[in-house]
């Protein structure tokens, strides 16, 4: 890493810090963790500084700041994991955590495993930023909040409430594994959000805008993502939705706008291709490698190496470098996303998808930046081709049942398509489909691939991690639209 942070933002466990951890100390701890007979152990040191700013009713309401510091110790024995953590980096506390995690191996065959000599994992940087936003004066950020608020209000006099928030963090991680890998990373993350409420003749509607990623304040330099642009976008959606009509109910053709629609992919196939579910044979994609699981138009990748993107990582939380992994190639399933446990099970190279929320949780196979790659259709032709359907533009979230493959995603801005034209905006509605079924029904794919502007957080087994998604314009021949007009 080339980024140098001033002492106040530097982890105490880094070289020169008050609880500096070097390879020798780490090896001693790993030795304690393996004492009871574990076959692998790792140490995950984390230091996170976060701040948030909120503006509401045209006033800066809250400023917040916090520090998180701790060590997570993991020991595995076969497929079993022992996990413990401590917020105190005193030797005694760390040693206690190491021994507690190590107890998972008790009672098994006792074949002591040594700790290998440490070698530093070399990784390129996908988010080397000159100045972390946390080091920029708070007043600069408050100015951004005000600019977004002003732009939202200026958009239309019917905008009655605006909330603006900015969250920033720096996470510094040091990782040591008993098989001799040592990795270090500093991960910046910012997220800017605007929510607006419009009111007209007793009707009320809401809209939101926002973005971010692994950037410094340079994020706001581009016109499409400066603070005012996000404010205007939130207001635009709220005003547009004032005229929303009841959505239709039943199976119909749906066109997804580029960018945020990638959430469909994240839910429809992404989770089902996380290898832990397949290792345990609990996913409906179990045993499907080499089989046609989507329309031949579909090539799906999970790429942790997209510079500045919210889901980018240099190394994953098990010390493996990020990669661009092809999951589905022209409709054929070619690979899963792995953590160390599943890669070992399948006898493949780790794919750089082992991620965890914090030092308090064990790593799991997780997505990074998941995309459906561009096709060749003209996006305008795709909309023109639809006699009656729904055009989905913005989303509030999604969810999947990885076992049966059912997934939903919620539309917060969508329009009816009639005779090839977008007509009435539709009230909030859910789409529901079955992963493999819906991907086989992708029958047109635009040339207009876009990445979402960095707002998504993915939850799995209680752990949240930042991710990103992207798609071109997509046509799905039939999916169930959950409106009220049967």
- The C-alpha torsion from 77 through 81 and 82 to 87, rounded to 10°, is 130
> Which residue do the tokens 């699981």 mark?
293
CB atoms inside a 10 Å sphere around CB 124: 11
Strands (E), 152-248: 159-177, 181-200, 203-213
- Residue 433 near other proteins by CB under 8 A: yes
Identify the residue whose tokens are 């399933």: 333
Q: Pick from 137, 191, 203, 134: which is nearest to 164 by CA?
A: 191
**Segment contacting other proteins by CB under 8 A, of 61-69, 330-338, 381-389, 415-423:** 61-69
Residues 395 to 414 in contact with other proteins, rule: CB under 8 A: 396-399, 401, 403-410, 412
Q: DSSP of 356-418, one letter per residue?
A: -SSTTS--EE--SEEEEPP-SB-HHHHHHT-SEEEEEEEEEEEEE-TTT-EEEEEEEEEEEEE
How many residues sit close enough to other proteins to count as binding (CB under 8 A)? Answer: 82
Q: Which is nearer to other proteins, 78 or 114 (CB)?
A: 78
138 binds other proteins per the rule CB under 8 A: yes
Kindly report the backbone phi and psi dihedral angles of residue 328, in degrees, each rounded to the nearest multiple of 5, phi listed first: -130, 130
Of the residues 87, 140, 349, 380, which one makes contact with other proteins according to CB under 8 A: 87
Position 213 contacts other proteins (CB under 8 A): no
Q: Which of 205, 232, 369, 473 binds other proteins (CB under 8 A)?
A: 205
483 binds other proteins (CB under 8 A): yes
Q: Which segment (19-27, 96-104, 173-181, 468-476) binds other proteins by CB under 8 A?
A: 96-104
Which listed residue (15, 63, 245, 307) binds other proteins by CB under 8 A?
Answer: 63
Asked if 62 interacts with other proteins (CB under 8 A), we say yes
Assign residue 405 a region: left if phi > 0, alpha if psi is -120 to 50, beta otherwise?
left
Number of Cβ atoms within 10 Å of the Cβ of 419: 9
Q: 355 to 394, contacts with other proteins by CB under 8 A? A: 360, 362
Q: DSSP string of 233-248?
A: HHHHHHHHHTT-BPPB
Whole-number minimum distance, CB 374 to other proteins, in Å? 28
* Nearest distance in Å: CB 459, other proteins: 11
Angstrom distance (rounded) from CA 63 to CA 165: 10
Give the x/- contact pattern for other proteins in 228-257, rule: CB under 8 A: ----------------x--x-xxx------
Is 15 exposed, middle or buried, given 0-12, 13-18 or 19+ CB atoms closer than 10 A? exposed
Pick between residue 278 and residue 370 the one whose CB is nearest to other proteins: 278
**Contact track, other proteins, 17-46, x by CB under 8 A:** ------------------------------
Residues forming a β-bridge with 185: 173
User: Which residues 98-127 are close enough to bind other proteins by CB under 8 A?
Assistant: 100, 103-104
Please report how close the Cβ of residue 485 comes to other proteins at its closest, in angstroms: 7
Least Å distance, CB 323 to other proteins, is 27
Q: Determine, following the binding rule CB under 8 A, whether residue 68 of this chain makes contact with other proteins.
A: yes
């Amino acid at each position: 890493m080339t980024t140098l942070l001033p002492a106040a933002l530097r982890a105490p466990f880094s070289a020169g810090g008050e609880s500096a951890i070097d390879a020798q100390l780490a090896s001693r701890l790993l030795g304690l963790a393996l004492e009871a007979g574990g076959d692998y152990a790792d140490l995950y040191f984390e230091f996170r500084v976060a701040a948030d700013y909120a503006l509401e009713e045209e006033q800066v309401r809250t400023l917040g700041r916090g520090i998180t510091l701790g060590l997570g110790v993991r020991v595995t024995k076969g497929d079993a994991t022992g996990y413990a953590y401590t917020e105190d980096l005193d030797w005694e506390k760390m040693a206690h955590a190491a021994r507690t995690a190590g107890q998972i191996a008790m009672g098994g065959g006792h074949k002591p495993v040594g700790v290998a000599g440490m070698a530093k994992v070399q990784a390129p940087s996908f988010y080397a930023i000159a100045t972390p936003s946390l080091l920029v004066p708070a007043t600069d950020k408050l100015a951004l909040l005000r600019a977004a608020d002003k732009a939202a209000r200026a958009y239309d006099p019917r905008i009655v409430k605006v909330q603006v928030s900015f969250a920033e963090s720096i996470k510094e991680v040091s990782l040591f594994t008993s098989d001799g890998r040592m990795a270090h990373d500093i991960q910046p993350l910012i997220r800017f959000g605007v929510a607006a409420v419009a009111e007209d003749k007793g009707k009320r509607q809401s809209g939101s805008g926002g973005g971010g990623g692994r950037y410094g304040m340079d994020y706001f330099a581009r016109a499409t993502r400066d603070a005012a642009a996000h404010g205007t976008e939130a207001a635009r959606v709220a005003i547009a939705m004032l005229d929303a009509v009841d959505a239709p109910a039943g199976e119909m053709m749906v066109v997804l706008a580029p960018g945020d629609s990638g959430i469909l992919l994240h839910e429809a196939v992404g989770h089902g291709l996380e290898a832990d579910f397949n290792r345990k044979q609990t996913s409906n994609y179990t045993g499907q490698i080499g089989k046609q699981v989507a329309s031949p138009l579909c090539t799906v990748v999970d790429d942790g190496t997209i510079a500045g993107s919210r889901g980018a990582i240099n190394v994953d939380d098990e010390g493996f470098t990020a990669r661009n992994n092809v999951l589905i190639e022209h409709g054929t399933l070619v690979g899963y996303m792995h953590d160390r446990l599943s890669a070992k099970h399948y006898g493949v190279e780790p794919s750089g998808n082992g991620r965890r929320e914090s030092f308090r949780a064990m790593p799991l196979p997780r997505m990074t930046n998941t995309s459906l790659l561009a096709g060749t259709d003209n996006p305008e032709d795709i909309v023109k081709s639809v006699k009656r359907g729904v055009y989905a533009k913005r989303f509030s979230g999604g969810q999947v049942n990885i076992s049966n493959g059912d997934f939903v995603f919620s539309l917060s801005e969508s329009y009816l398509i009639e005779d090839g034209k977008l007509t009435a905006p539709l009230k909030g509605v859910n789409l529901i489909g079955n992963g493999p079924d819906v991907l086989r029904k992708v029958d047109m794919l635009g040339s207009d691939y876009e990445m979402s502007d960095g707002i998504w957080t993915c939850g799995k087994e209680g752990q949240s991690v930042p991710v990103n998604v992207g798609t071109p314009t997509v046509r799905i021949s039939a999916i169930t639209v959950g409106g009220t007009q049967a």
